[in-house]
Amino acid sequence: MVNYYREQTDLLLKTLIETDINMNISMFYERKDPYKTVKELTYHIGNVGVELKESNQNREDIDIAAFTYNDAKYIRKEIQINNEDIYNLFIYINIYSEDEKKLEYYLNKIEGITQSKGMQTRRANFRQEELFLSTMPFMKNEKEVKTIASRNILTSGLLATYPFISSSIFDKEGIFIGTNIYNNSLVFIDRYKEKYKNANICIFGTSGAGKSFYSKILILRYKLLGINQYIIDPDREYNNLCKRLGGVEIKIGPTSETYINVFDIRKESIEEGENGYLATKISRLIGFFNLIFGELNEEEKAIVEEKLIKTYKNKGITFDDNSLYKNGKFKKEKEMPILEDLYIEFGKDIKTKKFKIKLLPFVKGSLKFFNNYTNVKLENELIVADVYDLGEENLKYGMYLFIDIFWDKVKENRQKKKAIYLDEIWRLIGVTSNKEVASFIYKIFKTIRKYGGSSIAITQDISDIFSLDNGTYGKSILNNSSIKTFFSLEEENIKILEEFTNLTEKEKIEIKSLKRGEALTFVGNDHILVKIESSEEERKIIEGKKNEENNNSNR
């Protein structure tokens, strides 16, 4: 670099660093003697001032002389009054390539970029060796090139040369996500890092945009780190990955032989030193029964709560936490009530006959698998909850059931890192849900960090997650996610997203035009375009069956 605009309003190197061209950039700052500088400036100001007074105003160089006069006065004032220092600035750029034609192309490209930013460059013809040495980590500013590259700059102006401005993310202990689309730099994110306000992630994108593949990449790579991961799988997308990684798959449905009792009170449901097992459980059950009975008013909630208390009391469980212990041990699954016990209680009171009728399918009908004692243990690092067999109308019941049990697992050990993946989260915080359930999901996103956890919200139905209570819960979950990843979206979804995020006009255009596997990612305050990358081995693990089918069809 040999010259710049008199005034710079942007970072000098930003555009260069964000290119994908291989280069080394070296900068030297040499502080000048302020007393000597002020003396020289004063002498210059005096001489030029006389010239301006006595010269013919029609001289062609009169404007240039006026500029140098005003600049000299400004620099002297900054040094004398504002205590600024003055430096000589030297910037050297070394571009390299294995192909001579490509090298020339890169040189022309860099020259074009610098000129568009008001910077003049000069090729180091016959001085290539000296410039190369100046860009090496020897702290040596070769005198043969420094006389040409020198440019004076005040302390405040040095801000324009700040080099660490690439919109890349490289968390030291993070996992590899992909490459920055603009400059090919590697993106490593450690979502559990203290610099982020939480470890939560939102993953939005249309069908086929790459959000499921990205979610599986995260699961695979965090599994290698030994992090406990719990996945709600409404579309049976994670079965193959679960098997390949040695995880446990739990299915509930008409043909399954695994059961989870919604009435279970687990020892880890409240923290050590706290109390209120039954009160905590009843608040969660109210949300579950809101899903079954529809939105309950305050009177109906009170009646249902009364019957729940009675149902637990019949099993010897009261608001006294000691009632959950028997012979010094926490009560087992078979000592808890089940749905049929509540069904019987509803039948005893004319005010709750309508609830008994609505509960009938869950006790004696097509959904009677909900009416069983829990017979599964959740001890694996990777657990996938398969609720696909429940069908579209009943998915929300199974999803809530597993979230309830997974949340207790999260609270079990604060020191252990863990994550809950909520695929198709709109079913639990959208218009088909209710405020109690949505509040529970929001609570998870807001408090999971203190248990060493991370919540991941995945959906393609953006309009649905903002449909309940004017989007209150969708917005809360979005705001409580430090990492937001947006794959390609339709125009109407982008407009909805714009209302709840600080998307720029440029970013809105980018989201719409993203290719499969590309995403706009917000990580803290950084916004970057990322191409999700995976190795061939990872792809085989994630898409094992698909690859086998493709290979067979090609034979």
Work out the average pLDDT over 495-515: 89
Q: Are residues 442 and 540 both part of a single domain?
A: yes
Do 58 and 97 reside in the same domain of the chain? yes
Is residue 1 situated within a structural domain? no
**CATH number where 338 lies:** 1.10.8.730
Residues forming a β-bridge with 527: 522
Q: Do 69 and 36 lie in a common domain?
A: yes
Tokens standing for residue 443? 């609570």
User: Which percentage of the chain shows pLDDT scores above 90?
Assistant: 65
**CA dihedral over 163, 169, 170, 173, signed as positive or negative:** positive
- Which tokens sit at 242? 């679960």
pLDDT given for residue 302 in this prediction: 95
Bridge partners of 530?
180, 519
Q: What is the DSSP string of 263-312?
A: T---GGGS-TT---HHHHHHHHHHHHHHHHH-S--HHHHHHHHHHHHHHH
Helix axes 298-313, 339-347, angle to 10 degrees: 120
106 and 239 share a domain?
no
Answer whether residue 176 is part of any domain.
no
The CATH number covering residue 552 comes to 3.40.50.300
Mean pLDDT, range 379-404, rounded to an integer: 94
Count of C-beta atoms within a 10 Å radius of residue 99: 9
Cβ-contact 307, 314 below 8 angstroms: no
Burial of 151 (0-12, 13-18, 19+ CB in 10 A): middle
Q: Is the pLDDT of residue 17 over 90?
A: no
**Per-residue pLDDT tens over the stretch 84-127:** 999 999 999 999 899 999 999 999 999 998 888 888 999 999 99
Indicate whether 41 and 81 sit together in one domain: yes
Is residue 295 predicted with pLDDT exceeding 90?
no
Do 275 and 312 belong together in one domain? yes
CB-based burial of residue 290 (10 Å sphere; 0-12 exposed, 13-18 middle, 19+ buried)? Answer: buried
Structure letter (DSSP) for residue 59: -
Report yes or no: 25 and 135 within 8 Å, Cβ to Cβ: yes
* Percentage of the chain modeled with pLDDT above 70: 95
Structural domain contains residue 409 = yes
- Mean pLDDT over 411-428 rounds to 93
Residue 334's Cβ-count burial label (10 Å; 0-12, 13-18, 19+) is exposed
pLDDT at 9: 60
Of 347, 373, 399, which closes a domain? 373
Q: Are residues 514 and 396 in the same domain?
A: yes
Inside any domain, residue 188: no
Q: Which residue has the higher pLDDT, 139 or 62?
A: 139
Buried b / exposed e across 358-389, counting CB within 10 Å, b at 16+? ebeebbeeebebbbbbbeeebebbbbbbbbbb
Q: Which of 161, 185, 212 is the C-terminal boundary of a domain?
A: 161
Residue 173 lies in a domain: no
Distance CA 146, CA 164 (A): 23
Domain assignment present for residue 177? The answer is no
Q: What is the mean pLDDT of the chain?
A: 90
**Residue 149 and residue 38 share a domain:** yes
7 in a structural domain: no
**Are residues 545 and 403 located together in one domain of the fold?**
yes
pLDDT at 60: 62
What 3-state class would DSSP assign to 418?
A: strand
Q: Which of 89-98, 161-170, 187-196, 385-394 has the lowest mean pLDDT?
A: 161-170
Residue range(s) defining the domain that contains residue 266: 259-373
pTM for this prediction: 0.75
Segment 249-281, tens digit of pLDDT: 999 999 999 999 999 999 988 877 778 999 999
Residue 307 sits in the same domain as residue 342: yes
User: What does the pLDDT read at residue 280?
Assistant: 93
Residue 170 inside a domain? The answer is: no
Amino acid at site 484:
K
Query: Rounded to whole angstroms, what are the CA distances from 533 to 31, 217, 513, 545?
Result: 45, 9, 19, 20
The residue among 433 and 264 whose pLDDT is bigger is: 264
Residues 282 and 134 in one domain: no
The last residue of a domain, from among 343, 373, 403? 373
Q: What is the mean pLDDT of residues 161-178?
A: 80
Residue 428 class from Cβ within 10 Å (0-12 exposed, 13-18 middle, 19+ buried)? buried
Domains held by the chain: number: 3
- Which range (49-53, 85-89, 380-384) has the least confidence? 49-53
Tell me the three state secondary structure of residue 355. helix
Q: Are 231 and 360 within one domain?
A: no
Q: Give the largest Cα separation in the chain, rounded.
A: 110
Q: Residue 433: its pLDDT value, please? A: 87
Query: CA separation (Å) from 280 to 21, 112, 408?
Result: 58, 65, 11
